[in-house]
Chains A and B, each alone.
Chain A
């Protein structure tokens, strides 16, 4: 029984959320946008966490900043741009698609295509192995084996 109570209480424990209730906006629509934007922004301190996940003080500051910009009437792109102007593209967890990031986005595809072409050419060039006919000697040995079986 005790074990069940323990297991059940584990179910009740929600995931630890970094976003504190005091940070949240009163307007639910804005808060949803803020959460979505926070998931796009990298915490510079923990680097592989979004500011939505991170407990670092800087992440909390940036969450507050995102909400301030939204309240001030910025569009989603405007908010991201505001942060990027200060911290660079590295804050975006999804790198932007631009000329100078083309290699990042399309490099793997280019390698796949190059490899595919290489494999295709190689396979086309490879001649199927021609089976040499049996020599008279081999023919005789084969015949002997078959006859022995019968």
Chain B
């Protein structure tokens, strides 16, 4: 009994060390979204001329499972994830909508002309106000929205194949099956 009391502090320390050790493996720059399971914000963004795609409004996002990607032509990580969206769009797995964040319309249009346009509709959020309503704090960010227009998932930073295959696509399949 006395022995046990002696190793108790050691055990407590080990427990705390393991707990904090796990904490260290998490990325503090990824802040969980406050909008998970909340309806998408109301917005009506203008179209970007020259893309040939319609404007994006909150009404246009309801009724089907969709991806919403916040991007900008000045954003280097957006360029990294772009091919993944191109591949997704070719596969017709899920409609992808774009929000152009604090970007000149002609720059966004040129970016999409050069790299390909995976978006079904694009909203131009020049002052970043709609992005604030989405809780965006850096581009790129990608949201999964369900049929009822509820935000189910947010990915911060460029989409990785791991995040796509292990989280986003399975979630989309699950949401598609939901009534």
Contact = CB atoms under 8 A, between A and B. Distances in A.
Chain B interface residue bracket vs A: 10 to 19
B21 interface: no
A9 B8 CA distance: 60
Contact of B128 (A61, A86, A87, A89): A61
Contact of A86 (B28, B102, B127, B135): B135
Q: Tell me if A's interface is mostly helix, strand, loop or mixed.
A: helix
B29 interface: yes
Interface in A11-61: 44-45, 47, 57-58, 61
Nearest to A68: B129
B34 A44 contact: no
A58 B31 CA distance: 15
B102 A87 contact: no
A86 B138 contact: no
B132 A62 contact: yes
B32 interface: yes
Contacts of A65: 129, 132
Contacts of B35: 86
Given A57-B102, A61-B128, A65-B132, A87 B137 contact: yes
Interface string A68-100: 000000000000000011111110000000000
A61 B34 CA distance: 19
A88 B138 contact: no
A88 B132 contact: no
Q: Tell me if B's interface is mostly helix, strand, loop or mixed.
A: loop
B107 interface: no
A85 B102 CA distance: 22
Given A44-B31, A84-B34, A88-B33, A58 B137 contact: yes
Chain A interface residue bracket vs B: 10 to 19
A58 B127 CA distance: 10
Given A87-B34, A88-B34, A44 B138 contact: yes
B68 to A, nearest CB: 15
A119 to B, nearest CB: 13
Given A61-B128, A61-B132, A62-B132, A88 B29 contact: no
A90 B132 contact: no
Nearest to B135: A86
A96 to B, nearest CB: 13
A71 to B, nearest CB: 15
B138 A90 contact: no
A65 B132 CA distance: 9
A119 B61 CA distance: 61
A47 B32 contact: no
19 contacts: A44-B31, A44-B137, A44-B138, A47-B28, A57-B128, A58-B137, A58-B138, A61-B128, A62-B132, A65-B132, A85-B34, A86-B34, A86-B35, A86-B41, A86-B133, A87-B137, A88-B31, A88-B34, A89-B34
